[in-house]
């Protein structure tokens, strides 16, 4: 056993050390945001080796680079745990229709909506999908996002679904971010199915899903369980196929009506159930039983001018964890700001500041099944940081359209502002 002296002398040099900073660690073992007023963070090999009080870490002084944070706040890098970032075209024309009084559902039923983006996505090459997603990604990264989930669902046939997922993986290789992909083949019924939902779901389960899983293109499987999309029974079929392949599931649940989506998600042990404006108390209780995260998407609520607020008090009462995400997509939430998503979460859904910040960090990591890797400032996790020019954490939630990011750190490396 080495004694204390030889141990510290032999300690490897740290790559980087941030000091004189205030930390919102989001560590589950601390109350609230896990605040440390005089903190330091040390990294080695892209991982956090220490995040805590400066007073407890006097031996951690030997780093290749020391960064004086001058009292700035550091949070975990932000996580957007629900996006449809990769797609062709846009829906600005539909937005104008909606301003003239046509509803989101009416547009969808008339063959517009998701299907108009499907047409544009089918026409786009992988390069074009990557190129058009990049500015949206850059906007999120400029606000400290370091991890993102990206869904397919605008192909609705194997080739295009694959191209979307490949584009998402490529963004993960080419940009300093962590990417998690989700297969959302059950997003809408493609026009060529001519109304034969059963046949489409059968093809999806038999061919598309196993093929994409074998190509390691999908980290999870999602479905849109809604009257304008797929029934609970069809969704269950997709989920059974996913589970048989060992893939975790998540669900667009109870967004426009209550079809029992929250209960269904829980029945399959889903990582998350998302939207949930119309979720019942029974559904929330079921989610509590399986640790399914409620992913709240105030951007979509705002943009389609929904009136029904998700049952936030019920989530709190039942101890269901709540995450917040942008739902970035061309139809119901053309949003590329997690800061604004937090502001909307607070203003529209009455979430607290702590719930909003936890919702785009620790709870978003939970929704992605990435708790051991990201989401809090704790030794062993990736050193993904957002460093802010703010005086108190509430400023991240309070402002609208202002970006106080000072620096973004991904896997221990300081990134240029995008
Ligand atoms: N719910 C949504 O809010 C998005 N997909 C979904 O299942 C909408 C996607 C779109 O309108 O393009
Ligand atoms: Fe969505």
Nearest CA to ligand 1 atom 4: 332
Nearest CA to ligand 1 atom 11: 331
Range of weakest confidence among 66-75, 98-107, 135-144, 396-405? 98-107
Helix residue ranges, H only, 148-296:
158-174, 197-203, 209-214, 232-244, 261-267, 281-290
300 ligand 1 Cβ < 6 A = yes
**pLDDT band at residue 405 under the 50/70/90 scheme:** very high
What pLDDT, on the 0 to 100 scale, is given for residue 247? Answer: 98
Q: Mean pLDDT throughout 130-148?
A: 98
Distance of CA 367 to the CA centre of its chain: 8
Query: From CA 310, how far away is CA 317, in angstroms rounded?
Result: 13
Ligand 1 atom nearest the C-alpha of 187 is: 7
Query: From CA 292, how far away is CA 269, in angstroms rounded?
Result: 7
What pLDDT, on the 0 to 100 scale, is given for residue 7? Answer: 42
End-to-end CA distance of the chain: 48
What pLDDT, on the 0 to 100 scale, is given for residue 8? Answer: 46
Average predicted confidence (pLDDT) for the chain:
95
Question: Per the structure block, which two tokens stand in for 22?
Answer: 């205030």
Nearest CA to ligand 1 atom 2: 332
Question: Per the structure block, which two tokens stand in for 351?
Answer: 């979430």
- pLDDT, one tens digit per residue, over 65-102 is 999 999 999 999 999 999 999 999 999 999 999 999 99
Query: From CA 285, how far away is CA 280, in angstroms rounded?
Result: 9
- Choice from 82, 84, 98, 235 to test ligand 1 binding pocket (greatest atom count within 8 A of CB): 84
- pLDDT, one tens digit per residue, over 313-355 is 999 999 999 999 999 999 999 999 999 999 999 999 999 999 9
pTM: 0.96
Nearest CA to ligand 1 atom 10: 331
What pLDDT, on the 0 to 100 scale, is given for residue 10? Answer: 45
Ligand closest in space to the Cα of 112: 1
Ligand 1 atom nearest the C-alpha of 331 is: 11
39 ligand 1 Cβ < 6 A = no
């Amino acid at each position: 056993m080495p004694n204390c002296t030889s141990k510290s002398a032999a300690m490897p040099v740290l790559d980087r050390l941030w000091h004189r900073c205030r930390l919102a660690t989001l560590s589950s073992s601390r109350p609230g945001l896990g605040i440390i007023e005089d903190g330091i963070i040390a990294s080695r090999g892209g991982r956090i080796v220490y995040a805590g009080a400066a007073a407890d870490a006097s031996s951690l002084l030997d780093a290749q680079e020391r960064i004086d944070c001058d009292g700035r706040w550091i949070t975990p890098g932000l996580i957007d745990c629900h996006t449809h970032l990769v797609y062709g075209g846009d829906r600005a024309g539909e937005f104008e229709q909606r301003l003239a009084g046509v509803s989101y559902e009416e547009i969808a039923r008339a063959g517009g909506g998701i299907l108009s983006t499907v047409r544009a996505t089918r026409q786009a090459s992988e390069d074009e999908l990557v190129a058009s997603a990049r500015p949206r990604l850059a906007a999120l990264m400029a606000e400290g996002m370091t991890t993102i989930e990206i869904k397919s669902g605008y192909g609705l046939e194997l080739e295009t679904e694959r191209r979307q997922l490949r584009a998402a993986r490529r963004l993960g290789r080419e940009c300093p971010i962590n990417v998690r992909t989700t297969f959302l083949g059950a997003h809408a019924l493609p026009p060529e199915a001519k109304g034969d939902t059963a046949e489409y779901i059968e093809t999806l389960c038999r061919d598309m899903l196993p093929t994409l899983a074998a190509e390691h293109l999908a980290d999870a499987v999602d479905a849109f369980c809604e009257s304008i999309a797929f029934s609970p029974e069809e969704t269950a079929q997709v989920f059974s196929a996913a589970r048989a392949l060992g893939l975790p599931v998540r669900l667009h649940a109870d967004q426009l009506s209550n079809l029992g989506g929250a209960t269904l998600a829980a029945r399959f042990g889903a990582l998350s159930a998302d939207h949930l404006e119309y979720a019942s108390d029974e559904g929330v209780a079921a989610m509590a039983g399986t640790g399914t995260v409620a992913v709240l998407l105030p951007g979509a609520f705002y943009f389609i001018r929904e009136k029904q607020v998700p049952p936030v008090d019920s989530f709190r009462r039942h101890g269901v964890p709540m995450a917040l995400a942008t739902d970035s997509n061309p139809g119901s939430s053309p949003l590329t700001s997690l800061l604004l998503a937090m502001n909307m979460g607070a203003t529209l859904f009455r979430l607290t500041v702590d719930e909003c910040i936890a919702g785009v960090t620790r709870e978003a990591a939970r929704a992605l099944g990435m708790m051991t890797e990201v989401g809090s400032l704790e030794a062993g996790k990736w050193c993904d940081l957002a460093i802010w020019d703010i005086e108190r954490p509430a400023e991240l939630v309070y402002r609208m359209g202002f970006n106080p990011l000072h620096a973004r750190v991904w896997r221990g490396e300081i990134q240029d502002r995008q």
